[in-house]
Amino acid sequence: MQSARLVAAVTELGSLGLMTAALIYRVLIAIRGCWLVVEWFFGWGAHSRVNSLTLLHPYASLIGNAIAVAFLLVVLTGMWFFQRWARLIFVLLLAVALVTSPFRAHYSFSSPPSFAQAIGVFMLLLTGAIVAMSFLPPVRDCFAKNGGLTKR
């Protein structure tokens, strides 16, 4: 009886347009993009790692990281508008990051605050939710309707 009421309440919210899968998907993308910018701005996460480029040419490393963040923001913007190319690039970048992660050095100038590490783990889960929603209906159907580079 309780579960039937819960399902009815969620269905009613969905019919009112207050909670749609596409809206939730876009909120997740916005949160991920904002955290990406915060992480880059404060030098947390992947942007705090020490490598030879950072030691020899700190400005080149800063510009390289800025270009990488800008590229990821373009991909997230493409996913916001349900572009197939953005979904493909996002999944490929995630796969490359997963494969190369064990081989990257994890040295940093200073460790980020503990709350940043906790939020980073949450962002990993959120990234998984974004990928899952991208390939499951009804969000998948939004990508099918908006196929390719053409704008409707």
**pLDDT computed for residue 150 by the predictor:** 46
Buried b (16+ CB within 10 A) or exposed e, 34-65: ebbeebbeebbbbbbbeeeebeeeeeebeeeb
**pLDDT computed for residue 136 by the predictor:** 92
Q: Tell me, yes or no, whether 123 lies in a domain.
A: yes
- Range(s) of the domain holding residue 92: 20-145
64 pLDDT tier (thresholds 50, 70, 90): confident
Task: Write down the pTM of the prediction.
Answer: 0.76
CA angle 133, 48, 132 (to 5 degrees): 5
Query: For residue range 120-144, what is the model confidence (pLDDT) as tens digits?
Result: 889 999 999 999 999 998 899 888 8
Q: Tell me, yes or no, whether 8 lies in a domain.
A: no
Asked if residue 60 lies in contact with residue 53, where contact means CB atoms within 8 angstroms, the answer is yes
Mean pLDDT of 66-91: 94
% of the chain exceeding 70 in pLDDT: 72
152 pLDDT tier (thresholds 50, 70, 90): very low
**Sequence-separated (6 or more) residues with CB below 8 Å from residue 48:** 108, 109, 110, 112
Q: Is the pLDDT of residue 112 over 80?
A: no
Q: Tell me, yes or no, whether 87 lies in a domain.
A: yes
Q: In terms of DSSP H, where are the helices of 81-152? A: 84-100, 114-135, 139-145
Q: Is the pLDDT of residue 80 over 70?
A: yes
| Number of Cβ within a 10 Å radius of residue 101 | 10
Q: Tell me, yes or no, whether 11 lies in a domain.
A: no
118 pLDDT tier (thresholds 50, 70, 90): confident
How many domains is the chain built from?
1
Q: Is the pLDDT of residue 13 over 70?
A: no
On the question of a cis peptide bond just before residue 138, with omega within 30 degrees of 0, the verdict is yes
10 pLDDT tier (thresholds 50, 70, 90): very low
Mean pLDDT of 91-100: 92
Mean pLDDT score across all residues of the chain: 80
Q: Tell me, yes or no, whether 4 lies in a domain.
A: no
Q: Tell me, yes or no, whether 5 lies in a domain.
A: no
